[in-house]
Amino acid sequence: MRIFLFVLSIVSLLLATRQFSISEQTGQFKGALFLLLIGIQLLIAAALIHQHQEERVQKAATDIEGGKEAGGKCCEHIGGQDKKS
């Protein structure tokens, strides 16, 4: 998803630069500014999606490591109670 957004933002920014060069003679920059704005928004959205995915991966790795440690201690604790009974 983020790669697709990056590609779209690059295309939009390239089209904006082309529009700026074309509209330089006429002075009407509305289309170029619109494409530039869209390109910047897509770039920011792709960066935010990438950051969110990285945080989810780190959180999942932390949860898995924490679960293994807690699971081992929990099983030992339960086993110890059965021996006392």
* 55-65 residue pLDDT tens: 999 998 888 87
Domain span at residue 25 reads 2-84
CA angle 33, 28, 37 (to 5 degrees): 5
pLDDT in tens, the chain (85 residues): 788 888 989 999 899 988 888 887 787 888 888 889 999 999 999 999 999 989 999 998 888 877 665 555 555 555 555 555 4
Residue 66 and residue 53: Cα distance in Å, rounded?
A: 20
**DSSP one-letter string for 1-64:** -HHHHHHHHHHHHHHHHHHHHHHTTT---HHHHHHHHHHHHHHHHHHHHHHHHHHHHHHHHHHH
**pTM, entire model:** 0.63
Cβ atoms 24, 1 nearer than 8 A: no
Structural domain total, the chain? 1
